[in-house]
Amino acid sequence: MKKIVLGVDVGGTSTKLGLVDREGNLLAESKFMSTEYEFIDGFIESFEKHVDQLVKSIGPDHEMIGIGIGAPNANFYRGTIEYPPNLKWPGITPLASMVKRKFKLPTLLTNDANAAAYGEMIYGGAKGMKDFVVITLGTGLGSGIVSNGQLVYGYAGNAGEVGHTLVNVHGRHCGCGKQGCLETYVSATGIRRTVYKLLADYTVDSKMREVSFEDLSAEMITDAAHAGDEIAIAAFEYTARILGMKLSDVVAHSGPEAIFLFGGLTHAKDLLFMPTAKHFNNNLMPIFKGKVKLMPSELNNKNAAILGSAAMIWKHYEDGDLSTLS
Ligand SMILES: [Zn+2]
């Protein structure tokens, strides 16, 4: 019997799921719209149907050892999704225990950034590393911190909120209710806000002047910067300066061997990495200089979220604590 894991990515729009082996092969995958289910019971029903189909599609001789789920606002210890702004289920949803009851398999739930860190650890560039950090740059900024081979969850199960550390006391308002959080500057949304600020402050020509805030995407800003647009280039420089400085703080807190950058904004490659590395190195304490690698995630593909959730199960299965944790 070949052992496999079910990896799940619950997103605001769609839920993706796939069967993954230890080598990171995606044996079968499927997806359905999360938005259709106002109530969790309907979601679980649809989820079960999709899992049954997936399992049938790969034939016999497989043993599923667990289910790993990545979801926004997930609490690892409690297996709950708590007050998610982008999902329809209000309050606290005990998703892990509901899934576990249905399938009678160990089930773990974590947030997207921690899932990305598990993915990097098992399938990506962090293989063999015991101390590293993954920063996810999507709509927001997430972080997964690994210390001595274990994800840092903190006392209550929600450590690793680098995106909501302070950049500017009187800064931009954040979705979390605070002001001046890192993710209001460094994320796909953050760089769009920066472009609009720069367009207001300067009079130079820019193609982005014709685009509404809603239509402006991080890809457009990247393309504009590649085409020499001064506002777009300045926006990347501004974003990278704040990111580089904050990452040097992350190093001071956690002393990692490497920091991996993951997600949409990293597709800008050198536009983001070169200035980030410059500001990062300039701000590192001398004792850390030359000792911390800053690199792109090796899991930047469309299945990264499924692989990351599956990797969480493999990690705890191999650590021998899967059944005690789930
Ligand atoms: Zn915040």
Beta-carbon count within 10 A of 61 CB = 7
Give the span between the Cα atoms of 106 and 128, in whole angstroms: 25
User: What torsion, rounded to 10 degrees, do the Cα atoms 286, 292, 293, 295 define?
Assistant: -100
Give the distance (Å) from ligand 1 centre to CA of residue 185: 10
pLDDT at 45: 94
Among all chains, which residue has been given the structure tokens 């052992």?
Answer: 3
Give the distance (Å) from ligand 1 centre to CA of residue 161: 9
Collapsing DSSP states into helix, strand and coil, what is residue 141? strand
Give the distance (Å) from ligand 1 centre to CA of residue 263: 19
pTM: 0.94
In the chain the domains, ranked by start, together with CATH numbers, are 2-112+312-325 (3.30.420.40), 125-296 (3.30.420.40)
Which positions ≥6 away from 192 have C-beta within 8 Å?
213, 216, 217, 218, 221
pLDDT (average), residues 290-313: 93
Helix axes 95-103, 40-57, angle to 10 degrees: 40
Give the distance (Å) from ligand 1 centre to CA of residue 176: 4
Six-digit token string for 312: 């969480």
Which positions ≥6 away from 63 have C-beta within 8 Å?
1, 2, 3, 4
Give the distance (Å) from ligand 1 centre to CA of residue 143: 13
Give the distance (Å) from ligand 1 centre to CA of residue 228: 32
Give the distance (Å) from ligand 1 centre to CA of residue 223: 28
Give the distance (Å) from ligand 1 centre to CA of residue 240: 18
Instruction: Tell me the pLDDT tens digit for each residue of 54-84.
Output: 999 999 999 999 999 999 999 999 999 999 8
Six-digit token string for 139: 């709509």
CA angle 116, 268, 307 (to 5 degrees): 20
**Across all residues in the chain, what is the average pLDDT?**
95
pLDDT (average), residues 4-29: 95
Burial track 145-181 (b if 16+ CB lie within 10 A, e otherwise) = bbbeeebbbeeebbbbbbbbbebeeebbebeeeeebb
Handedness of CA 218, 223, 225, 230 (dihedral sign): negative
Give the distance (Å) from ligand 1 centre to CA of residue 229: 30
Closest to 44 measured CA to CA, from 105, 102, 106, 92: 102
Asked if residues 273 and 296 have their Cβ atoms less than 8 Å apart, the reply is: yes
Give the distance (Å) from ligand 1 centre to CA of residue 260: 21
Give the distance (Å) from ligand 1 centre to CA of residue 304: 25
Among all chains, which residue has been given the structure tokens 């309907």?
Answer: 42
pLDDT at 35: 82
Give the distance (Å) from ligand 1 centre to CA of residue 182: 7
Give the distance (Å) from ligand 1 centre to CA of residue 172: 9
Give the distance (Å) from ligand 1 centre to CA of residue 190: 12
pLDDT at 13: 87
pLDDT (average), residues 290-304: 91
User: Residue 300 above 80 pLDDT?
Assistant: no
Six-digit token string for 96: 């892990």
Q: How confident is the model at residue 161 (pLDDT cuts 50, 70, 90)?
A: very high
pLDDT at 5: 98
Six-digit token string for 149: 């081979």
Give the span between the Cα atoms of 31 and 9, in whole angstroms: 9
pLDDT (average), residues 209-222: 96
User: Residue 183 above 80 pLDDT?
Assistant: yes
**Which percentage of the chain shows pLDDT scores above 90?**
90
- The beta strands (E) that lie in 169-274 are given as 258-262
User: Residue 47 above 90 pLDDT?
Assistant: yes
Six-digit token string for 58: 């790969």
181 or 88, which is more confident: 181
- Which of these ranges, 87-91, 99-103, 222-226, has the smallest mean pLDDT? 87-91
User: Residue 93 above 90 pLDDT?
Assistant: yes
**Which percentage of the chain shows pLDDT scores above 70?**
100
Which positions ≥6 away from 74 have C-beta within 8 Å?
80, 81, 82, 95, 109, 110, 111, 114
Give the distance (Å) from ligand 1 centre to CA of residue 105: 35
Beta-carbon count within 10 A of 13 CB = 10
Give the distance (Å) from ligand 1 centre to CA of residue 69: 24
Instruction: Please report, in angstroms and rounded to a whole number, the separation of the first and last CA atoms in the chain.
Output: 23
Read off the DSSP letter of residue 18.
E
Give the distance (Å) from ligand 1 centre to CA of residue 163: 7
Give the distance (Å) from ligand 1 centre to CA of residue 167: 10
